[in-house]
Amino acid sequence: MSAQDLSLPLQQQIIDAVNNQRPLRIIGGNSKDFYGGACTAEDTLLTSAHCGVIDYQPSELVITARSGTSLAAINQLLAEQRQMLAFEPPHFGPGATLGGTIACGLSGPRRAFAGSARDFVLGCKIINGNGEILSFGGQVMKNVAGFDVSRLMTGALGTLGLLLEISLRVLPMPETELTLAYPLSTDSALQQMLTLAQKPWPLSAMAYDGQYLRIRLSGAETAVLAAARQLGGDIDGEGDQFWLQLREQQLGYFQHSGDLWRLSLAPAARLPALDPHCLIDWGGALRWLKTDTAAASIHDSIGACGGHALCFKGTGPNRSLRLAPALQAIQQQLRLAFDPQRIFNPGRLPF
């Protein structure tokens, strides 16, 4: 797709939608349509033609691109300079766009060690539900002028506005990466992850797939090799493939039947009834669960350890998230503050 700025036509489309009271369903690459609640709008707003990198200066560690830019294209451009999006975002399909990536706010295996999608967002340009083009944040690392709207947009699933442009901090690629694997039981794997995380090993991923604990080391070659020597274990030659398949949910685990739940909780939390059935990422702080268990009971057990459960891919209606009523109320108010006519993605984030 050749670079072009469609801000003005997109703005017009939003103004028309407001005037005609016709809500819009925002579509980037349509790779994550399953996520975040079913959108009920009949009219669509397509972002993929609003694309192109606006500014990328490797020495500034910042990239700014239009929301329709393909994630793959951005990854490639960065890789040419040996840089990367350190939150390792999942694509879930060849068409994934930058806008969809930030709107969903999902991060991959490196997240627990390098930071999340929202951690790397520096600024954005949006169109709000009044059809106004607004800019927040910027291209610099530190910026506390005004409320942090750019981070608020991350994970908001387009319900607060249409993302037009996004500036992200990027990081240098590690010189070397190496994956070590250990055959362990669930309990020992969880224990080992906690032990490792308490020491300053150069970790960049830790996951357990029910058979093997895998850890990824990143950094200068000498440092990675030294750490690997001290840690022992077998080098997994297919490590890169494993992390990719974990990120893209292509491992065998994800093919099992049942709803896919995403459990975000303290790494040391133990869920005796559920853990043996989980795929564990982020050193224990993220657990994937394929199950037919009732939503309420999952919410109860995760809530009890201060975490959050979310039905990531499922069949039941309106069961995906549970929020405290006061929190729900304020989120509703916030949504109206950006989109008073409820034009954007009705049905997504069910409040």
- C-beta separation of 263 from 288 below 8 A: yes
The nearest distance, CB 258 to another protein, in angstroms, is 20
Nearer to another protein, 239 or 284 (CB): 284
**Beta strand ranges found along the chain (DSSP E):** 24-27, 43-46, 53-57, 62-66, 83-84, 121-127, 133-137, 162-169, 171-172, 176-183, 203-208, 212-219, 234-235, 259-264, 278-281, 286-291, 308-313
The nearest distance, CB 238 to another protein, in angstroms, is 25
Strand arrangement of the beta sheet that strand 286-291 belongs to? 234-235, 176-183, 212-219, 203-208, 278-281, 286-291, 259-264, 308-313
Of 197, 210, 218, the C-alpha closest to 246 is 210
Q: Which pair of structure tokens corresponds to residue 82? A: 């040996």
Nearer to another protein, 8 or 326 (CB): 326
- C-beta separation of 90 from 179 below 8 A: no
Nearer to another protein, 48 or 192 (CB): 192
Q: Which pair of structure tokens corresponds to residue 103? A: 């709107």
The nearest distance, CB 39 to another protein, in angstroms, is 16
Question: Distance between CA 313 and CA 315 in Å, rounded?
Answer: 7
Nearer to another protein, 48 or 84 (CB): 84
Nearer to another protein, 48 or 78 (CB): 78
Angle subtended at Cα 195 by Cα 190 and Cα 197, rounded to the nearest 5 degrees? 95
Q: Which pair of structure tokens corresponds to residue 97? A: 């766009």
The nearest distance, CB 265 to another protein, in angstroms, is 4
In this structure, what DSSP letter does residue 325 have? Answer: H
Taking the CA atoms of 140, 146, 147 and 149 in sequence, report the sign of the dihedral they define.
negative
**Nearest 5°: phi and psi at 119?**
-65, -25
The nearest distance, CB 56 to another protein, in angstroms, is 13
Nearer to another protein, 143 or 249 (CB): 143
Nearer to another protein, 48 or 162 (CB): 162
Residue 243 to residues 70, 180, 195, 246, 248, Cα–Cα distance (Å): 21, 12, 21, 5, 9
Nearer to another protein, 80 or 147 (CB): 147
3-state secondary structure at position 120: helix
- CA 161 vs. chain centroid, Å, equals 18
Nearer to another protein, 254 or 351 (CB): 351
